[in-house]
């Protein structure tokens, strides 16, 4: 399984916000690292996020709700989760509008959508496709 690295998340934020990126808020570095470790975690011999969809939802949720950046947290979280799925062989269905994506991410940020509901939504929007040639 291919997980995002700290530098990947910084790069995504730089691309979204432009220039050098939004900059990290206080303790932002630890918040990003925690989000990445959280999605990989095995706790008491059990994986709390067994599917790719659950892992993507976990990293999106962490980045959106802990605000590691001064700007672009929702966009950075979403793109990090989408890139994780793509890196692991899942392709995004293009029938999702920008408005629907925005509604879901804003709903997550406003605690109107749970991480579990986000995972179920992601699962509906992705399909397995051919292995990526590396």
* pLDDT single digits (tens) 67-88: 999 999 999 999 999 999 999 9
In this predicted structure, what is the pLDDT of residue 130?
Answer: 36
Assign domain 6-125 to its CATH superfamily: Fic/DOC protein, Fido domain (1.20.120.1870)
Q: Which helix (H) or strand (E) holds 100?
A: helix 98-109
Average pLDDT over residues 2-31: 89
Helix (H, G, I), strand (E, B) or coil at 117: helix
Is the predicted pLDDT of residue 129 greater than 50, yes or no? no
Structural domain boundaries of the chain?
6-125
Confidence tier at 56 by pLDDT (50, 70, 90): very high
Q: Answer left, alpha or beta for residue 44, where phi above 0 means left and psi between -120 and 50 means alpha.
A: left
In this predicted structure, what is the pLDDT of residue 127?
Answer: 60
Average pLDDT over residues 33-42: 92
Six token digits for residue 90: 């899942």
Report if pTM > 0.85.
yes
> How many other C-beta atoms can be found within 10 angstroms of the C-beta atom of residue 31?
20
User: Which among 14, 16, 12 has a CA at the least distance from the CA of 35?
Assistant: 12
């Amino acid at each position: 399984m291919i997980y995002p690295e700290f530098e990947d998340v910084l790069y995504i934020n730089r691309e979204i916000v432009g220039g050098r990126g939004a900059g990290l808020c206080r303790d932002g570095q630890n918040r990003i690292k925690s989000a990445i470790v959280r999605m990989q975690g095995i706790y008491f011999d059990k994986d709390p996020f067994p599917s790719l969809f659950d892992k993507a939802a976990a990293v999106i949720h962490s980045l959106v709700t802990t605000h590691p950046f001064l700007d672009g947290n929702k966009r950075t979280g979403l793109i990090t989760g989408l890139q994780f799925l793509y890196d692991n062989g899942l392709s995004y269905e293009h029938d999702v509008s920008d408005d629907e994506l925005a509604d879901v991410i804003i709903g997550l940020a406003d605690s109107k959508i749970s991480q579990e509901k986000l995972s179920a939504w992601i699962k509906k929007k992705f399909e397995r496709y051919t292995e990526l040639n590396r």
